[in-house]
Amino acid sequence: MIAENADLQTDLSRYRVFRNGEFAEEVSDIREYWRSDLVCFLIGCTNTFEGALVAANVRLRHIEEQSNPPVFVTNIACESAGAFTGPMVVSMLPILSRQVADVVRISGRYPKAHGAPIHIGNPQAIGIDLDKPDFGELMSLKIDEVPVFWACGVTPQIVARNAHPDIMITHAPGHTFVADWPDNTLDEA
């Protein structure tokens, strides 16, 4: 059981509504869109292991700069399942070269929150131009930083869009549901 008294119709700070697979509007409350046949999925987020990274003195610029990390649609095809097919979406954090190994090992302890990075360096190899994020905010690399990419919870939004459901409601990028599980309960170390 997660967040016993939570209400998914009101407790995210921002939602996106898609009709027939197309983005329709972004709202802060979905009570008027709710249907009794809707099913909700809660999936993990890299935010979960940020506390562990900060505790290990990893420099996280999006926290220092109070911004949302950039999110990119890649050219990596997800495994298809029935009507659901599409590319993997990733978030990027710039990490100091000397801290990349620590970041891999710490995030790898959180497989329910995307776990270890899926790609490190060479954004062009997965169809990404770092100067053109699809969501989130532009973040330029500084000297001695490497772009590190994690699977992102925005992926199912892109995939579901391809399946053209009548209605689909998601969190807006960067506006996830915050549960009542302490982050260390997901640490599988």
Contact string (CB under 8 A) for a copy of itself, positions 128-157, x = contact: ---------------xxxx-----------
For residue 83, the SS3 value is coil
The residue (of 95 and 154) whose beta carbon lies closer to a copy of itself is 95
Q: b/e map of 127-149 (b: 16 or more CB within 10 Å)?
A: ebebeebebbeebeeeeebbbbb
End-to-end CA distance of the chain: 22
The residue (of 118 and 167) whose beta carbon lies closer to a copy of itself is 118
Q: Number of residues in contact with a copy of itself, rule: CB under 8 A?
A: 20
What's the DSSP call for residue 161?
H
Whole-number minimum distance, CB 96 to a copy of itself, in Å? 8
CB atoms within 10 A of CB 171: 20
Site for a copy of itself in 80-139 (CB under 8 A): 97-98, 100-101, 104-105, 108, 116-122, 125-126
Angle at 91 between CA 171 and CA 164, to 5 degrees: 45
The residue (of 43 and 126) whose beta carbon lies closer to a copy of itself is 126
What is the Cα Rg of the chain in Å? 17
**Residue ranges in the chain assigned as alpha helix (H):** 50-55, 61-64, 100-107, 155-162
The residue (of 51 and 111) whose beta carbon lies closer to a copy of itself is 111
Whole-number minimum distance, CB 72 to a copy of itself, in Å? 14
Whole-number minimum distance, CB 163 to a copy of itself, in Å? 27
The residue (of 15 and 49) whose beta carbon lies closer to a copy of itself is 49
Token pair 């807006």: residue: 172
Token pair 């996106």: residue: 16
Q: Is there binding between residue 189 and a copy of itself (CB under 8 A)?
A: no
Contact positions vs a copy of itself (CB under 8 A): 97-98, 100-101, 104-105, 108, 116-122, 125-126, 143-146
